[in-house]
């Protein structure tokens, strides 16, 4: 039996590209989504990839969802924590609810999903976890205290969990995308987006497939000596 992967937020944007890339590598993929049933049904019709619904901010839902996937498809060998939301606003206008929703989904979702799959990966002595961070978790962004904090937390989470998995064949890495041509970025006002693109040395937005190729390498057999790393794919917008 081939390897099984779960991609959270896997039916649209970067997640969709990742789901397709892993499928094309020969993995059996389950693409998690939070609530857009019509979009998920269209995704499955186009790709043949199973879509599975649960909220990654809900710990018990994650445990149950992973158990259902494993019962249907087999043990999960690859986890891509891609699900993320924004609730933007300056700190003075940011409510606790805006903070909590972003932290619970973007960072809490990584914990919840890893908690569900990590023990099995350790037992089988093989696993790949890739967490999708952000350039804004590295450099910060005005009006995104919640999002930047959550994404920055992902990078620390990645390093610490990598240390626990390293000797049992489980790698844990992150990718920090820059501005990618997805629905989330499309929601940015045009004049703001023009200013963002002007600051990207390669002179364009990234493509979801470019992030997916990075994820695919980290999830492959060839990526076995890479762990605890954050791969920045941002067109040169932020270097350190």
Residue 147 annotated in active site: yes
H/E segment holding residue 7? strand 4-7
Average pLDDT of the chain?
95
Mean pLDDT for the stretch of residues 203-221? 97
Cα–Cα distance, 55 to 53 (Å, whole number): 7
Structure tokens at 62: 């994650």
Given 1.20.120.1200, 3.40.50.720, 3.40.50.300, 3.10.20.30, which CATH number is that of 4-231?
A: 3.40.50.720
Catalytic choice (33, 96, 142, 147): 147
Mean pLDDT for the stretch of residues 70-87? 97
Place of tokens 């930047």: 148
So what's the pLDDT on residue 1? 53
Distances (CA, A) of 38 to 12, 33, 45: 12, 11, 11
| pLDDT surpasses 90 at 190 | no
So what's the pLDDT on residue 189? 84
- DSSP tag of 206: B
Q: Where are the alpha helices (DSSP H) in the chain?
A: 13-24, 37-47, 59-73, 96-102, 108-124, 135-139, 145-165, 183-186, 190-198, 208-219
* CA-based nearest residue to 173, from 228, 217, 219, 234: 228
Mean pLDDT for the stretch of residues 12-41? 97
């Amino acid at each position: 039996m081939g390897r099984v992967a779960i991609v959270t937020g896997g039916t649209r944007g970067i997640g969709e590209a990742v789901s397709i890339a892993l499928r094309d590598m020969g993995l059996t993929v389950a693409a998690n989504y939070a609530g857009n049933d019509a979009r998920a049904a269209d995704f499955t019709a186009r790709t043949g990839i199973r879509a599975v619904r649960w909220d990654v901010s809900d710990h018990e839902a994650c445990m149950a969802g992973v158990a259902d996937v494993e019962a249907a498809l087999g043990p999960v060998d690859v986890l891509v924590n891609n699900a993320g939301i924004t609730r933007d606003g300056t700190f003075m206008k940011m409510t606790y609810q805006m903070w909590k929703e972003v932290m619970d989904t973007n960072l809490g979702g990584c914990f919840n999903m890893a908690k569900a799959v990590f023990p099995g990966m350790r037992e089988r002595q093989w696993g790949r976890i890739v967490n999708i961070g952000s350039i804004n978790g590295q450099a910060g962004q005005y009006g995104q205290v919640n999002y930047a904090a959550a994404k920055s937390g992902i990078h620390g989470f990645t390093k610490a969990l990598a240390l626990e998995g390293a000797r049992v064949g489980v790698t844990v890495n992150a990718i920090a995308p820059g501005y990618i041509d997805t629905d989330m970025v499309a929601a940015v006002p045009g004049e703001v987006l023009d200013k963002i693109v002007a600051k990207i040395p390669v002179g364009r937005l990234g493509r979801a497939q470019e992030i997916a190729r990075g994820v695919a390498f980290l999830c492959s057999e060839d990526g076995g000596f890479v762990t605890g790393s954050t791969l920045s794919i941002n067109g040169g917008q932020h270097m350190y």
